[in-house]
Protein backbone atom coordinates (compact mmCIF):
# COMPACT_ATOMS: atom_id res chain seq x y z
CA UNK A 1 0.00 0.00 0.00
CA UNK A 2 1.26 3.46 -0.90
CA UNK A 3 2.13 5.55 2.14
CA UNK A 4 0.76 9.01 1.55
CA UNK A 5 -2.30 10.71 2.94
CA UNK A 6 -4.12 13.36 0.93
CA UNK A 7 -6.61 15.45 2.90
CA UNK A 8 -9.46 16.66 0.71
CA UNK A 9 -9.66 20.25 1.86
CA UNK A 10 -8.55 23.67 0.81
CA UNK A 11 -8.80 24.94 4.37
CA UNK A 12 -5.38 25.80 5.90
CA UNK A 13 -6.70 25.56 9.48
CA UNK A 14 -7.94 22.02 8.91
CA UNK A 15 -4.59 21.08 7.33
CA UNK A 16 -2.72 22.28 10.43
CA UNK A 17 -5.06 20.28 12.65
CA UNK A 18 -4.78 17.05 10.69
CA UNK A 19 -0.97 17.37 10.46
CA UNK A 20 -0.70 17.84 14.22
CA UNK A 21 -2.84 14.77 14.90
CA UNK A 22 -1.56 12.44 12.15
CA UNK A 23 2.08 13.44 12.61
CA UNK A 24 3.12 10.34 14.58
CA UNK A 25 1.81 8.00 11.86
CA UNK A 26 5.08 8.83 10.08
CA UNK A 27 3.31 9.23 6.71
CA UNK A 28 3.39 12.46 4.71
CA UNK A 29 0.07 14.34 4.81
CA UNK A 30 -0.58 16.46 1.72
CA UNK A 31 -3.28 18.98 0.95
CA UNK A 32 -5.17 18.58 -2.33
CA UNK A 33 -3.14 21.46 -3.72
CA UNK A 34 0.16 19.83 -2.70
CA UNK A 35 -1.02 16.64 -4.41
CA UNK A 36 -1.73 18.68 -7.56
CA UNK A 37 -5.48 18.10 -7.40
CA UNK A 38 -7.99 20.82 -8.00
CA UNK A 39 -11.71 20.08 -8.25
CA UNK A 40 -15.10 21.34 -7.19
CA UNK A 41 -17.06 18.64 -5.43
CA UNK A 42 -20.84 18.69 -5.20
CA UNK A 43 -21.69 17.85 -1.57
CA UNK A 44 -25.14 16.41 -2.17
CA UNK A 45 -25.20 13.75 0.56
CA UNK A 46 -27.94 13.53 3.18
CA UNK A 47 -25.62 13.21 6.18
CA UNK A 48 -22.21 14.40 7.35
CA UNK A 49 -20.85 10.89 6.75
CA UNK A 50 -22.20 10.73 3.18
CA UNK A 51 -20.73 14.13 2.34
CA UNK A 52 -17.34 13.17 3.76
CA UNK A 53 -17.36 9.97 1.70
CA UNK A 54 -18.41 11.83 -1.47
CA UNK A 55 -15.45 14.21 -1.06
CA UNK A 56 -12.96 11.44 -0.26
CA UNK A 57 -14.09 9.27 -3.19
CA UNK A 58 -13.95 12.21 -5.62
CA UNK A 59 -10.34 13.00 -4.70
CA UNK A 60 -9.42 9.31 -4.57
CA UNK A 61 -10.50 8.96 -8.21
CA UNK A 62 -7.68 11.39 -9.04
CA UNK A 63 -4.79 9.96 -7.01
CA UNK A 64 -5.27 6.52 -5.36
CA UNK A 65 -3.45 7.54 -2.19
CA UNK A 66 -5.09 7.25 1.23
CA UNK A 67 -7.61 10.08 0.91
CA UNK A 68 -9.26 11.60 3.96
CA UNK A 69 -12.15 14.07 3.92
CA UNK A 70 -14.29 15.59 6.63
CA UNK A 71 -17.69 17.18 6.85
CA UNK A 72 -18.86 19.06 9.88
CA UNK A 73 -21.48 21.38 11.23
CA UNK A 74 -23.66 22.57 14.06
CA UNK A 75 -26.86 20.79 15.13
CA UNK A 76 -29.28 22.77 17.31
CA UNK A 77 -31.90 20.56 18.98
CA UNK A 78 -34.58 23.26 19.30
CA UNK A 79 -34.30 23.85 15.52
CA UNK A 80 -34.64 20.13 14.74
CA UNK A 81 -30.94 19.79 14.00
CA UNK A 82 -30.54 22.93 11.88
CA UNK A 83 -28.30 24.18 10.36
CA UNK A 84 -26.77 20.65 10.29
CA UNK A 85 -25.23 19.61 6.98
CA UNK A 86 -26.13 23.08 5.67
CA UNK A 87 -23.98 24.86 8.30
CA UNK A 88 -21.59 26.41 5.77
CA UNK A 89 -24.47 27.27 3.40
CA UNK A 90 -26.88 28.61 6.07
CA UNK A 91 -28.18 32.01 4.87
CA UNK A 92 -25.72 31.77 1.95
CA UNK A 93 -22.00 30.90 1.81
CA UNK A 94 -21.04 34.57 1.59
CA UNK A 95 -23.08 35.76 4.57
CA UNK A 96 -20.85 36.71 7.50
CA UNK A 97 -20.88 34.50 10.60
CA UNK A 98 -21.75 37.56 12.63
CA UNK A 99 -25.07 37.67 10.76
CA UNK A 100 -25.57 33.87 10.84
CA UNK A 101 -24.91 33.80 14.58
CA UNK A 102 -27.29 36.70 15.20
CA UNK A 103 -29.98 34.88 13.22
CA UNK A 104 -29.62 31.70 15.30
CA UNK A 105 -29.70 33.65 18.57
CA UNK A 106 -32.84 35.41 17.33
CA UNK A 107 -34.51 32.10 16.44
CA UNK A 108 -33.86 30.92 20.00
CA UNK A 109 -35.29 34.07 21.52
CA UNK A 110 -37.03 33.22 24.81
CA UNK A 111 -35.80 29.59 24.76
CA UNK A 112 -34.43 28.61 28.20
CA UNK A 113 -30.92 27.16 28.73
CA UNK A 114 -32.09 23.57 29.05
CA UNK A 115 -33.65 23.70 25.57
CA UNK A 116 -30.69 25.44 23.89
CA UNK A 117 -28.67 22.22 23.58
CA UNK A 118 -26.52 21.79 20.48
CA UNK A 119 -23.49 19.94 19.21
CA UNK A 120 -20.74 20.28 16.69
CA UNK A 121 -20.46 17.09 14.62
CA UNK A 122 -17.56 15.98 12.46
CA UNK A 123 -17.64 12.95 10.18
CA UNK A 124 -14.46 11.70 8.55
CA UNK A 125 -14.17 9.26 5.68
CA UNK A 126 -10.98 7.67 4.42
CA UNK A 127 -10.71 5.87 1.11
CA UNK A 128 -7.78 3.46 1.03
CA UNK A 129 -5.73 2.78 -2.11
CA UNK A 130 -7.60 -0.53 -2.56
CA UNK A 131 -10.97 1.28 -2.42
CA UNK A 132 -11.97 0.29 1.12
CA UNK A 133 -13.77 3.06 3.02
CA UNK A 134 -13.36 3.84 6.73
CA UNK A 135 -15.59 6.18 8.75
CA UNK A 136 -15.21 7.98 12.07
CA UNK A 137 -17.28 10.57 13.90
CA UNK A 138 -16.72 13.00 16.76
CA UNK A 139 -19.05 15.37 18.62
CA UNK A 140 -18.83 18.07 21.26
CA UNK A 141 -21.95 19.04 23.25
CA UNK A 142 -22.79 22.60 24.29
CA UNK A 143 -25.56 25.16 24.41
CA UNK A 144 -26.29 28.16 22.18
CA UNK A 145 -25.37 31.37 23.99
CA UNK A 146 -27.24 34.68 24.12
CA UNK A 147 -24.50 36.77 22.48
CA UNK A 148 -21.21 36.23 20.64
CA UNK A 149 -18.19 35.75 22.88
CA UNK A 150 -14.51 35.16 22.06
CA UNK A 151 -12.15 35.89 19.20
CA UNK A 152 -10.55 32.49 18.57
CA UNK A 153 -11.90 29.79 16.30
CA UNK A 154 -14.24 30.49 13.42
CA UNK A 155 -17.81 30.07 12.24
CA UNK A 156 -20.30 29.35 15.00
CA UNK A 157 -17.65 29.17 17.76
CA UNK A 158 -18.61 32.53 19.38
CA UNK A 159 -22.16 31.29 20.19
CA UNK A 160 -21.23 27.72 21.17
CA UNK A 161 -21.06 27.76 24.96
CA UNK A 162 -19.51 24.94 27.01
CA UNK A 163 -21.18 25.04 30.45
CA UNK A 164 -18.46 22.91 32.11
CA UNK A 165 -15.72 25.28 30.91
CA UNK A 166 -17.73 28.49 31.42
CA UNK A 167 -16.78 29.82 27.98
CA UNK A 168 -17.49 29.46 24.28
CA UNK A 169 -15.29 27.46 21.93
CA UNK A 170 -14.16 30.84 20.56
CA UNK A 171 -12.65 31.56 23.99
CA UNK A 172 -10.58 28.36 24.12
CA UNK A 173 -6.93 28.37 23.06
CA UNK A 174 -6.40 26.36 19.83
CA UNK A 175 -4.64 23.44 21.55
CA UNK A 176 -7.48 22.97 24.05
CA UNK A 177 -10.07 23.29 21.29
CA UNK A 178 -8.34 20.54 19.28
CA UNK A 179 -8.34 18.30 22.33
CA UNK A 180 -12.06 18.76 22.94
CA UNK A 181 -13.41 19.36 19.47
CA UNK A 182 -15.56 17.18 17.27
CA UNK A 183 -12.88 17.29 14.55
CA UNK A 184 -10.04 16.41 16.93
CA UNK A 185 -12.01 13.44 18.26
CA UNK A 186 -12.99 12.21 14.79
CA UNK A 187 -9.41 12.60 13.49
CA UNK A 188 -7.93 10.68 16.43
CA UNK A 189 -10.53 7.90 15.95
CA UNK A 190 -9.60 7.74 12.26
CA UNK A 191 -5.91 7.62 13.14
CA UNK A 192 -6.54 4.54 15.33
CA UNK A 193 -8.28 2.78 12.43
CA UNK A 194 -5.47 3.69 10.04
CA UNK A 195 -2.84 2.37 12.46
CA UNK A 196 -4.64 -1.00 12.49
CA UNK A 197 -4.97 -1.07 8.70
CA UNK A 198 -1.33 -0.10 8.13
CA UNK A 199 -0.10 -2.70 10.64
CA UNK A 200 -2.11 -5.36 8.76
CA UNK A 201 -0.35 -4.37 5.55
CA UNK A 202 3.13 -4.44 7.07
CA UNK A 203 2.78 -7.82 8.80
P1 LIG B 1 -17.31 22.04 6.25
O2 LIG B 1 -17.12 20.89 7.18
O3 LIG B 1 -16.02 22.63 5.81
O4 LIG B 1 -18.27 21.71 5.14
O5 LIG B 1 -17.99 23.25 7.02
C6 LIG B 1 -18.84 23.08 8.09
C7 LIG B 1 -19.34 24.38 8.65
O8 LIG B 1 -19.79 24.07 9.97
C9 LIG B 1 -18.31 25.47 8.83
O10 LIG B 1 -18.30 26.35 7.77
C11 LIG B 1 -18.82 26.17 10.09
O12 LIG B 1 -19.88 27.02 9.77
C13 LIG B 1 -19.40 25.03 10.88
N14 LIG B 1 -18.39 24.47 11.79
C15 LIG B 1 -17.81 23.25 11.71
N16 LIG B 1 -16.91 23.08 12.70
C17 LIG B 1 -16.92 24.22 13.42
C18 LIG B 1 -16.18 24.66 14.56
O19 LIG B 1 -15.31 23.97 15.11
N20 LIG B 1 -16.47 25.90 14.99
C21 LIG B 1 -17.39 26.69 14.41
N22 LIG B 1 -18.09 26.35 13.35
C23 LIG B 1 -17.87 25.11 12.85
Most informative mutation of 32, 76, 87, 167 for ligand 1 (most atoms within 8 A of CB): 87
**Does residue 1 register a pLDDT over 70?**
no
For ligand 1, whether the C-beta of 181 sits within 6 Å is yes
In this predicted model, which residue has the larger pLDDT, 170 or 12? Answer: 170
Q: Are 48 and 122 in contact (CB under 8 A)?
A: yes
3-state helix, strand, coil in the chain (%, to 5): 40, 25, 35
For ligand 1, whether the C-beta of 7 sits within 6 Å is no
Catalytic residue among 71, 77, 94, 173: 71
Residue length, the chain? 203
In the residue annotation, 71 being an active-site residue is answered as: yes
Average pLDDT for 165-186: 94
The predicted structure's pLDDT at residue 203:
53
**Does residue 178 register a pLDDT over 90?**
no
Which atom of ligand 1 is nearest the CA belonging to 14? 3
For ligand 1, whether the C-beta of 72 sits within 6 Å is yes
Q: What would the pLDDT profile of 79-123 be if each residue is shown by its tens digit?
A: 999 999 999 999 999 999 999 999 999 999 999 999 999 999 999
Going by pLDDT thresholds of 50, 70 and 90, the confidence category of residue 190 is very high
Long-range contacts of 129-134 (CB under 8 A, 24+ apart): 129/1, 129/2, 129/64, 129/65, 129/66, 130/1, 131/60, 132/197, 133/53, 133/56, 133/57, 134/190, 134/193, 134/194, 134/197
Q: What would the pLDDT profile of 45-79 be if each residue is shown by its tens digit?
A: 999 999 999 999 999 999 989 999 999 999 999 99
Amino acid sequence: MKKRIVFATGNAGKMREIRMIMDDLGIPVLSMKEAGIQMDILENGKSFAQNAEIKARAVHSMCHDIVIADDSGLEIDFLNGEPGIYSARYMGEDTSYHIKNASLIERLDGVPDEKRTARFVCAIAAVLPDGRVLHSRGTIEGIIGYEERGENGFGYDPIFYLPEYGCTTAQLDPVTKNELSHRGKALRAMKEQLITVLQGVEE
